[in-house]
Amino acid sequence: MKFRAEDIARYLGGEIEGDPLVEVTAVAKIEEGYPGALSFLANPAYEKYIYTTGSSVVLVNKSFAPAATVSAVLIRVDNAYEAFASLLTLYQNSLPVRKGISDRAFIEDSAVIGKDVYIGPFVYIGENVQIGDGCSVYSHVSVENGSIVGDGCTLYNGVKIYHDCVIGRDCIIHAGSVIGSDGFGFAPQSDNDYKKIPQIGNVILEERVEIGANTVIDRATMGSTVIKKGVKLDNLIQIAHNVEVGENSVMAAQTGVAGSTKIGPNCMFGGQVGITGHITVAAGTKAAAQTGISGPIKKEGSTLYGSPAFDFRDYQKSYIIFRKLPELKERIEKIEKLIKEGDKT
């Protein structure tokens, strides 16, 4: 990577303040900047670093008004965060792309492999599997019988895709994730034992889904567990059988969704959110970290906190009272004492 400030500004449609010929060869956080690095400033909390950063070029919003001298070349853009993400994508796309099939991979004769693929060592591709054009399948991946992987997908090391699952185009599945493992279905018996219920459905990931490392998405008991297009799941997430996650929804690490729950589009869940089974969560719902959603959310655009979850503003008001409970208890005890003493007189 080697770009001049003027090239970056031209690509982003930005405005340069400073030397347009300054070159950058790397990217760095603004607080860790060094000569030859490109950084960005989007969060006002980090403004103090722009006056001391060693980075040669910094992307800033057009509205940014420096309070002191800035030594770095500035490129003003409409949205510095989005512009920086765009540059990182450009950089990633410029890296060499692996191609070819390792002679240490095992591919069943009935599998169909697309053009321009990379299949690493110790990969297993099962019977009647379809791997689309331009896919990258890294070492120790297993794609079991009848599954379909669309064009342009990346399956990182150790991903396991069980039988008959469907992965849409341009999906990314990170290391150690499991797609299509059995849903947690067991019927209690009269002798207090549990009988396993066969899970005969599958998992469908639509296009542009990204799954973090060590995330598990269970196959449906019947039908499909469906992750709609554009969904982004963090590491260490559990999606149970027959769940549907609406398009462009995002979930942070350690979130868990119980069986048969339907989540609407454009939802956002913080870390360790828990969602009970067999409910519907309305479109645009936002849940702060560790929220417990134990019932249906019917109002679109709700913001939730707490367990059981309730409206975020109501939670903040309640929390103010909660913090004062020791003081309120002491006041009540004093009042009770005064009442008792009054009764004696």
pLDDT of residue 341: 78
SS3 256: strand
pLDDT of residue 304: 94
CA–CA separation, 164 vs 62, rounded Å?
50
pLDDT of residue 236: 98
Cβ atoms of 99 and 135 within 8 Å: the answer is no
pLDDT of residue 330: 87
Cβ atoms of 139 and 157 within 8 Å: the answer is yes
pLDDT of residue 310: 67
C-alpha atoms less than 13 angstroms from C-alpha of 222 in its C-beta half-sphere: 1
Sort 345 into a burial class: Cβ within 10 Å, 0-12 / 13-18 / 19+: exposed
Q: Tell me, what DSSP letter sits at residue 194?
A: E
pLDDT of residue 117: 97
Could you state, in chain order, the average pLDDT of each consecutive group of 10 residues for the chain (345 residues)? 91 96 95 96 96 97 96 97 91 84 98 97 98 98 98 98 98 98 94 95 98 98 98 98 98 98 98 97 97 95 86 76 83 86 72
What are the catalytic residues?
241
Q: Tell me the residue type at 231.
A: V
pLDDT of residue 345: 65
What DSSP line would sit under 69-85, residue for residue? ---SEEEEES-HHHHHH
pLDDT of residue 198: 96
What are the residues facing 292 on neighbouring strands? 274
Whole-model pTM? 0.84
pLDDT of residue 214: 98
